[in-house]
Amino acid sequence: MAICGTSRSHDEAALEFADCYHKESEVLGLGSFSVVKIFTEKSSGNECAVKIVKKAYLKPDEIRLLEQESNILSKLKHRNVVKFKDSFSNPQFYYLVMELLTGGGLYQYVTTKKRTSHCEENVVWYMRDILNGLHYCHGMNIIHRDLKPMNLCVAFDLGREVVKLIDFGVAVDTKGRSRYRHGIVGTLGYRAPEMINDEKYGTAVDLYGCGCVLYNLLIGCHPGSGEISLPSPHRGLISNPAVDLLAKLLNPYQDKRITAAQALNHSFCSLRERGALNKHLDIAVERLTEFTQKKMWKTAAAVGVITSVAMAPIVGAAMGTSLRLEPLSSSKKTVTFSNPTTRKSSDVRSRY
Ligand SMILES: Nc1ncnc2c1ncn2[C@@H]1O[C@H](COP(=O)(O)OP(=O)(O)O)[C@@H](O)[C@H]1O
Ligand SMILES: [Mg+2]
């Protein structure tokens, strides 16, 4: 039974998922509670991405969130937001059918296709796409609440890559209600200080996540809480406009944080001012590669390529994976304010 159909007739909507789609073998990704696979629509022969969630793993209010995800996604129609196609639900499984984003995850794309040319000038295009998607969502009263690189995928439009927002699993629609929300959701490390501190928050939480993504793409690791710092090997590779935008996105005070519209006009993102550098960000690529390969390894383990813990290092080596993360250089240049965030011991939930 479709729970959130497109314009299909009632009879068509009654068709079970398996009657409409058949499976390809490829796993696109794993989420906290889901697996995303390629399927083919039988009627058109078109490939699509299907997020499959086993309901047995979820509590009743989490099942309600699944329905909320398809409701929200079906309202959003924008070049930088994954396109909703359909959703199905039966007592065991929930299926969310979306357009297939053939470039894969943003990190994967950066570390494979753009490996030799990753520089600030490319990052500007990714950021413009992410900010345009967020600006649209915020205009539609939607707060994503889980903005992070794993929830950004790449597609191609007229030969140019386009970054799209995916995973509206914890997004909220504030239309007709208060613009502010409570509650800790999203992913550890990408949550805005106001969410961690359990204060009321609004769309600015997504801009904080965007700041973390920008830091990830430029430096290859996480800004963490506290001071925003540029490790010494990156000095000279990162432009002043980039540092300024980072500080404005990661501003710990939500009312002072830059909005998506303002960030699009910032000198780093502005196509007129062209504040970005074209120096290759090789340290960032190296670190992101390690992260991506670790994630591929985890995916392989979860879908059964790796059957025992003892095999893990062997498979990791075969995939060219070093499972060791380089520590950051101890010599850091602090570029801005300190962050008042106080992490709570309860701050361990990863999604719901
Ligand atoms: N439409 C899509 N096209 C290609 N890959 C996708 C698509 N949707 C999701 N993925 C991949 O599947 C992973 C998990 O999907 P996501 O919606 O984030 O699940 P979860 O809500 O469980 O985190 C993503 O990180 C991404 O790699
Ligand atoms: Mg996700």
Residue 160 belongs to domain with CATH number: 1.10.510.10
**What is residue 324's predicted lDDT score, i.e. its pLDDT?**
26
Specify the residue with its C-alpha closest to ligand 1, atom 18.
167
Kindly state whether residues 129 and 183 are assigned to the same domain: yes
Of 64, 83, 99, which residue constitutes the final position of a domain? 99
Q: Residue 304 contacts by C-beta under 8 Å, 6 or more apart in sequence? A: none
Per DSSP, the three-state class of 272 is: coil
- Note the ligand closest to the C-alpha atom of 34: 1
Establish whether residue 29 lines the binding site of ligand 1, counting it when its CB lies within 6 angstroms of any ligand atom.
yes
Cα 21 to middle of ligand 2, angstroms: 23
Establish whether residue 32 lines the binding site of ligand 1, counting it when its CB lies within 6 angstroms of any ligand atom.
yes
% of the chain at pLDDT higher than 90:
51
Query: Hey, which of 46, 100, 166 would you mutate to test ligand 1's pocket, going by the most ligand atoms within 8 Å of its Cβ?
Result: 166
Place of tokens 């600015």: 204
Kindly state whether residues 66 and 119 are assigned to the same domain: no
Q: Residue 152 contacts by C-beta under 8 Å, 6 or more apart in sequence? A: 105, 106, 126, 130, 163, 164, 165, 166, 213
> Are the C-beta atoms of 254 and 192 separated by less than 8 Å?
yes
Phi, psi at 263, each rounded to 5°: -65, -35
Mean pLDDT of the 234-246 span: 87
**CA distances for 68 relative to 62, 63, 89, 173, angstroms:** 10, 9, 13, 9
Kindly state whether residues 210 and 328 are assigned to the same domain: yes
Kindly state whether residues 179 and 269 are assigned to the same domain: yes
Domain annotation covers residue 64: yes
Domain annotation covers residue 2: no
**What is residue 12's predicted lDDT score, i.e. its pLDDT?**
53
Task: Give the separation between CA 180 and CA 143, rounded to whole angstroms.
Answer: 10
**What is residue 300's predicted lDDT score, i.e. its pLDDT?**
62
Of 73, 99, 125, which residue constitutes the final position of a domain? 99
Establish whether residue 185 lines the binding site of ligand 1, counting it when its CB lies within 6 angstroms of any ligand atom.
no
Kindly state whether residues 142 and 178 are assigned to the same domain: yes
Kindly state whether residues 122 and 95 are assigned to the same domain: no
Of 56, 79, 99, which residue constitutes the final position of a domain? 99
Kindly state whether residues 249 and 122 are assigned to the same domain: yes
Domain annotation covers residue 175: yes
Q: Can you give the residue range of the structural domain that contains 32? A: 10-99
- Note the ligand closest to the C-alpha atom of 150: 1
**What is residue 195's predicted lDDT score, i.e. its pLDDT?**
95
Mean pLDDT of the 284-308 span: 70
Give the tens place of pLDDT for each residue, 318-330.
333 322 222 223 3
Q: What angle do CA 167, 38, 306 make, to 5 degrees?
A: 90
DSSP 115-179: TTT-BHHHHHHHHHHHHHHHHHHHHTTEE----SGGGEEEEEETTEEEEEE---TT-EE-TTS-S
pLDDT band for position 334 (50/70/90)? very low
> Are the C-beta atoms of 238 and 119 separated by less than 8 Å?
no
**What is residue 144's predicted lDDT score, i.e. its pLDDT?**
97
The pTM of the whole model exceeds 0.95 = no
**What is residue 348's predicted lDDT score, i.e. its pLDDT?**
25
In the residue annotation, 347 being an active-site residue is answered as no
Q: Is the pLDDT of residue 1 over 60?
A: no
Catalytic residue among 86, 146, 167, 206: 146
Place of tokens 């290859």: 220
Kindly state whether residues 256 and 130 are assigned to the same domain: yes
Domain annotation covers residue 303: yes
> Are the C-beta atoms of 73 and 168 separated by less than 8 Å?
yes
Specify the residue with its C-alpha closest to ligand 1, atom 9.
36
Count of domains forming the chain? 2
Establish whether residue 31 lines the binding site of ligand 1, counting it when its CB lies within 6 angstroms of any ligand atom.
yes
**What is residue 248's predicted lDDT score, i.e. its pLDDT?**
95
Establish whether residue 131 lines the binding site of ligand 1, counting it when its CB lies within 6 angstroms of any ligand atom.
no
Domain annotation covers residue 1: no
Kindly state whether residues 46 and 192 are assigned to the same domain: no
Task: Give the separation between CA 49 and CA 28, rounded to whole angstroms.
Answer: 8
Instruction: For residue 61, give the CATH number of its domain.
Output: 3.30.200.20
Kindly state whether residues 81 and 212 are assigned to the same domain: no
pLDDT band for position 44 (50/70/90)? very high
Domain annotation covers residue 117: yes
Kindly state whether residues 289 and 159 are assigned to the same domain: yes
Kindly state whether residues 35 and 168 are assigned to the same domain: no
Give the amino acid at 84: F
**What is residue 294's predicted lDDT score, i.e. its pLDDT?**
77
Mean pLDDT of the 1-25 span: 64
pLDDT band for position 202 (50/70/90)? very high
Task: Give the separation between CA 207 and CA 260, rounded to whole angstroms.
Answer: 7
Task: Give the separation between CA 187 and CA 202, rounded to whole angstroms.
Answer: 16
Domain annotation covers residue 174: yes
Q: Which of 193, 187, 190 is CA-nearest to residue 214?
A: 190
Query: Hey, which of 26, 28, 112 would you mutate to test ligand 1's pocket, going by the most ligand atoms within 8 Å of its Cβ?
Result: 28
Domain annotation covers residue 196: yes
Q: Which of 79, 179, 83, 169 is CA-nearest to residue 130?
A: 79
Establish whether residue 210 lines the binding site of ligand 1, counting it when its CB lies within 6 angstroms of any ligand atom.
no
